[in-house]
Amino acid sequence: MKPLTSTDPRCLGGIELLGRLGRGGMGVVYAGRTDEDTLVAVKTLHPDGLSRDDLRERFDREATALGMVQGPGTAALLAVSESSDEGPWLALEYVPGLDLATYLDRHDPLDAVAGAALGLVLANALTDIHAAGLLHRDLKPANVMLGPDGPKVVDFGLVAIGGAGGDLTMTDMRLGTPRFMAPEQFTAPTQVTGAADVYALGAVLAYATSKRYPYDGPTPEALGFAVVNPDKAPDLSGVPAPLAPLAGELLAFAPGERPDLADVRARLTERLADAHLSPGAARALLAERTYVPGTGNTDAVPAARRPAPPTRAEPAPGPSVMDTGLAGRTAERLRRAYARPAVA
């Protein structure tokens, strides 16, 4: 955790800010503590973003999407800013530990059992996301936090609400991270469906178990050409043999040739059963292997004030930390604006 700067707020909606967790394209993410000593992550929109409709729309859309998804595989939305004087912010479940990308930079790739457990957790999370009528569009190792209770998918900044193509605001706008983007995200971004998230699941699974990208190149252009070439097979060298066939199917060039998430979950559950593990036991085993204590950016918080993560049913308290108000109005407005059929 980095210390707060002289220009950073010290409190938002009754949440005491402890330090900076990071800074992204939309704003700063802070570690915060509520009046009940619950640790939260607070995402803010940079003041410059208030004058940009695209960034404000993305921020509002993320708030709506997070409020629509329920499941243990995603970080919970706890509150949204109520006061216009503070500017937009979101309070999210705080997930200590490393993200998957950082973990793999420092450790060996996952073996077949841990890889199957990771794949099942992510497939379950995507099932919950798609059931809410959403596309994540940016599933990648950096957006998977390895907490003490297992992995959680975070960062819904590129989420789409609705059916094919979602709510893209710019025709033919490419959204995602190239090494984990499906071919159609390069060639037909307005026609992207849930199959693109399935492809990203395959790319994450392959990388997590081999530390090799399915497609790579010396330049972004070369990488893009490789991904959209139907004759170029993904590099699955190093992926454990029990997982390689499934990874290859998830990375199929044509969206219609990729398995659906129900099939993926069934096959991974069967794979784990062969190792005498239930899904719950596999998740616990994965957390035991991948959670790295002391890396959750809570060093500034006294040990006696490090409670367990909050549940979704109990929003963080505070004078303007509410689960209604702006959060509800934003959600309702965006649901109307982006009302479309469920994700394919």
Residue 213: pLDDT over 50: yes
Residues 153 and 233 in one domain: yes
Distances (CA, A) of 339 to 57, 153, 162, 232: 15, 24, 6, 37
Taking the C-alpha atoms of residue 91 and residue 260, their distance in angstroms, rounded to an integer, is: 32
Q: What pLDDT, on a 0 to 100 scale, did the predictor assign at position 175?
A: 65
Residues 84 and 163 in one domain: no
CATH code, 150: 1.10.510.10
Chain segment 214-267, per-residue pLDDT in tens: 999 999 889 999 999 999 999 999 999 999 999 999 999 999 999 999 999 999
Residue 299: pLDDT over 60: no
Catalytic residue flag (residue 138): yes
Overall average pLDDT of the 260-278 stretch: 98
Confidence of residue 84 (pLDDT cuts 50, 70, 90): low
| Rg of the Cα atoms in the chain | 20
Confidence of residue 55 (pLDDT cuts 50, 70, 90): confident
Span of 27-41, 173-187, 200-214 with lowest mean pLDDT: 173-187
Q: What pLDDT, on a 0 to 100 scale, did the predictor assign at position 49?
A: 53
Residue 321: pLDDT over 90: no
Q: Which amino acid is residue 207, in one-letter code?
A: Y
Overall average pLDDT of the 66-73 stretch: 87
Span of 115-129, 171-185, 194-208 with lowest mean pLDDT: 171-185
Residue 151: pLDDT over 60: yes
In the set 99, 138, 155, 197, the catalytic residue is 138
Q: What pLDDT, on a 0 to 100 scale, did the predictor assign at position 176?
A: 73
Residues 131 and 224 in one domain: yes
Residue 271's nearest CA partner among 125, 117, 152 is: 117
Residues 112 and 251 in one domain: yes
Residues 268 and 330 in one domain: no
Q: What pLDDT, on a 0 to 100 scale, did the predictor assign at position 201?
A: 98
Residue 193: pLDDT over 90: yes
Q: Which of the two residues, 323 and 149, has the higher pLDDT score? A: 149
Residues 146 and 257 in one domain: yes
Q: Which of the two residues, 315 and 75, has the higher pLDDT score? A: 75
Q: Which of the two residues, 275 and 132, has the higher pLDDT score? A: 275
Three-class HEC string of 162-202:
CCCCCCCCCCCCCCCCHHHCCHHHHHCHHHCCHHHHHHHHH
Residues 197 and 285 in one domain: yes
Non-local CB neighbours of 322 within 8 Å, separated by 6+ positions:
79, 80, 82, 315
How far, rounded to the nearest angstrom, does the alpha carbon of residue 140 sit from its chain's CA centroid?
A: 8
Residues 122 and 267 in one domain: yes
Overall average pLDDT of the 274-289 stretch: 97
Counted domains in the chain: 2
Q: What pLDDT, on a 0 to 100 scale, did the predictor assign at position 318?
A: 30
Residues 188 and 271 in one domain: yes
Residues 73 and 143 in one domain: no
Residue 171: pLDDT over 70: no
Question: Looking at the domain assignment, is residue 4 inside a domain?
Answer: no
Confidence of residue 60 (pLDDT cuts 50, 70, 90): confident
Share of the chain above pLDDT 90, in %: 58
Overall average pLDDT of the 99-115 stretch: 97
Share of the chain above pLDDT 70, in %: 78
Residue 172 exposed, middle or buried by CB count within 10 Å (0-12, 13-18, 19+): exposed
Q: What pLDDT, on a 0 to 100 scale, did the predictor assign at position 311?
A: 40
Non-local CB neighbours of 218 within 8 Å, separated by 6+ positions:
none
Which token pair is 46?
A: 């940079």
Question: Looking at the domain assignment, is residue 6 inside a domain?
Answer: no
Q: What pLDDT, on a 0 to 100 scale, did the predictor assign at position 331?
A: 41
Q: Compute the 3-state secondary structure of the chain and give helix, strand, coil in percent, each to the nearest 5.
A: 40, 15, 45
CATH code, 61: 3.30.200.20
Overall average pLDDT of the 95-107 stretch: 95
Question: Looking at the domain assignment, is residue 34 inside a domain?
Answer: yes
Rounded to 5°, the CA angle 101-164-226 comes to 50
Domain of residue 186 covers 100-290
Overall average pLDDT of the 38-58 stretch: 78
Chain segment 22-42, per-residue pLDDT in tens: 887 678 999 999 988 999 999
Residue 327: pLDDT over 70: no
